[in-house]
Each structure stands twice: as C-alpha cells, then as structure tokens.
Amino acid sequence: MSRASAQVREPLLIEWVAKKSGFNYISTKLPVSDLDPPYFYLFAFLFLDFGVISVYNHFTGGEHVLLRNPIAVVGIIGVFFAAFGIRYMADQYHDAVNSLQVADRDIDSEDKDRFTYLVSLRSKKLVWLCAVIGLYLHIFVNIGISNLISFAGPAVLINRLFTWQIGYLPFVVEFAFLFYGIHFRLPRRIKQVGLNLFFFDPRNMGGFASIGQLLKRSYYLYTIGLLIFFILTYGIYIINLGAQAAEPGFTEAVFFSIAWLVGILSIGYSMWTIHHVMSIKKEERIREIEDEIRDKYKNPYDVNSSQFPDDREIENLERRLTKVRGTRVYPATFTMWSQIIISVFLPQALQLVVQATV
C-alpha cells in the first residue's frame, strides 16, 4: 500500500475561462490585487450586459432591462451567488477530503488520487461546448435572428449570441458539476474505496462530520439557487410591479418541479450512501470485537463451564465496543436533519402557493 499524499485541487471551468480571457493578468494590475479573476470576469460581462448594451438599447428607442423588469436585478445577484457558491463548494470539498485524512490512510495511491478532484476540467469544457451549441441552435432554428432583432433590437443580439454563452453559462455549468460531484461522485468514491471510520471521533460521527456538513451546505446553496429562480419567474406578479414580461406558465412550473426533485434525489442519494458506508463499517467492527471476545473464552457457549479471561483484556475490548456502538451511522445531527427538511419543502411550497394565486 502506498502512503503518498495526493493534492486535492478541483479544476474550475470559471478559472480556466478567466485565464484564457486574460483576466488573470488584468486582475494583477488592479488596485485590489487579491480580487479573484473569475469575479472580475463576471463583473466585466455584467457591465457589458447592463451598463453598455442595455443603456445603448435604452437610448436608441428601446428600454433598459431594469426599467422594463426591475426583478432582473435578482439575476445579477444570482450569477454572483453562483460564483460565490462555486468557490465555497470547492473550498469545502478540499476541507472535507482533508478531514478524512485520505492522504495518510493505508490505501492504494490510485484510490487516493480519486479524491483529488470531483470532475475533470475536460468534462466541464465538453459540456459547456455542447450547451453553447444547443443555445445557438435554439436561437437560429427555433427563434430566428430576424425575429430576435425585431423583438429585442440589434444590440440585445450581442447578449443572446455572446454574453450569455461566454459570460454567464460557465458559472451555471460549474455550479451544476460541483453539486453533482459532491452528491453523487464523492459518496460513491467513499463507498468504492471503503474508507474506514474513525471511531475515536469526539463527535461520534466516525470522522465523517465534515462530509455531512459539505452535503448539507451544498444543498442549501442549491435551494437558494432555486429560490432565486423562483423570484425571477414569479417575483413580478407577487409584488405587482406591472412590468412587461410573459406570465409564467406550465413550462416554468414543470422546470421548477423537476429542479426541486433533482435536489431531493441528490441529498437523499448522498446521505443514504454515506449512511450505508457508515453502517457497514460499524457492523464490521462490532463483529470483529465480538469475535475477539469470544476467542478469549475457552468455552464461550457454556456460561457455566466457561472460564473468565483476564479482566483487563475484557475491559479493553468493552471500551472499544462502547466507542464503536456510540458512533452514529448518519453524518448529521438532529438539528441538521431539521434544517434539511425545511429546505426540502420550502421551494415547492412557495411555488404551489404562488401558482394558486397568480
């Protein structure tokens, strides 16, 4: 078995596009030297969208998007939230894997390397490219350039053909991949590698407390993203701004419900998989200690004739057994479960209430 350390580093698509666009270099020339290049990259596209294109459209016969639909400001908050969520999930994944002490465990180096990152940069770039092609096909085939220009104006065409695909889409793709990796790939890898529990954990979670926190907090981020989409879709009608926008219908309701179900399946699968691993490892250790106790007695199945072994040996085994039995088989506390349940039902409850009144 190799004990070589593996460097945990998630390759981020948003870092790659920022670097290839020259924003790494530009950020070093700014007064704020510690500005994360992806944030600067996103800010540049938001300025192009709302500060240049929408302003130009406003003074050439159109209307600024924030005047036509003030709720659109939530979209600005949403993309910055996606950028924050990406960085937060990547950092939390790094901390969670390090807390498992994967690099110091007596497992194969190939198994250690499986925790280096969640999803390869190549896969992210490929999906991003496919999404860009899909958006272009939708614009050219379903909508039509002439229809788009007549409806929104030539300036807005830049947004539909460039800003959304190059500026915003990488953040959506990265957020989705990180959430998928945390809730599906990470639990599956833990199960396949067969990581043992740390039964001396003072939290009685087998050393998996940070994994539970990662699953919970990433699901919170996903739920907040759903709520942002909810506000963008129904916010105009909730506060009755009288803005110009198509009334949400069946398509929006179905999309929201599917996204909600995806979130439930994700947190359910990840928690159940970790629970399954913890349960198996706990039961294995209990059986091992049980076998050791049995071996200490000359005739363990006859309490009348069996001779008692050394008390110190039995006490040691019983202490170990107590530690193992006291270990939880879920990486979550009651409070965490309560918070998760609330976050599960809140988005769909809001949507059902609004749908009934809009």
Return the number of other C-beta atoms located less than 10 Å from residue 42's C-beta.
Answer: 23
- What per-residue confidence (pLDDT) applies to 120? 95
Query: Residue 180: pLDDT band by 50, 70, 90 thresholds?
Result: very high
Q: Which residues of 324-356 are buried (b: 16+ CB within 10 A; e: fewer)?
A: beebbbbbbbeebeeebeebbeebbebbeebee
Cβ(40)–Cβ(30) under 8 Å? yes
- pLDDT tens track for 68-79: 788 889 999 999
Token representation of residue 215 = 């699953």
Q: What is the DSSP letter of 71?
A: G
| pLDDT bracket for residue 354 (50, 70, 90) | low
Q: C-alpha distances in angstroms, 2 versus 99, 110, 299?
A: 19, 9, 41
Q: What is the mean pLDDT of the chain?
A: 85
To which residue do tokens 């280096």 refer? Answer: 116
Contacts of 233 (CB under 8 A, 6+ apart): 248, 252, 256
pLDDT at 4 over 50: no
pTM of the predicted model, to two decimals?
A: 0.87
Section 25-40 average pLDDT: 79
Q: Residue 5 pLDDT > 50, yes or no?
A: no
Q: Model confidence over 271-296: pLDDT tens digits? A: 999 999 999 999 999 999 999 888 87
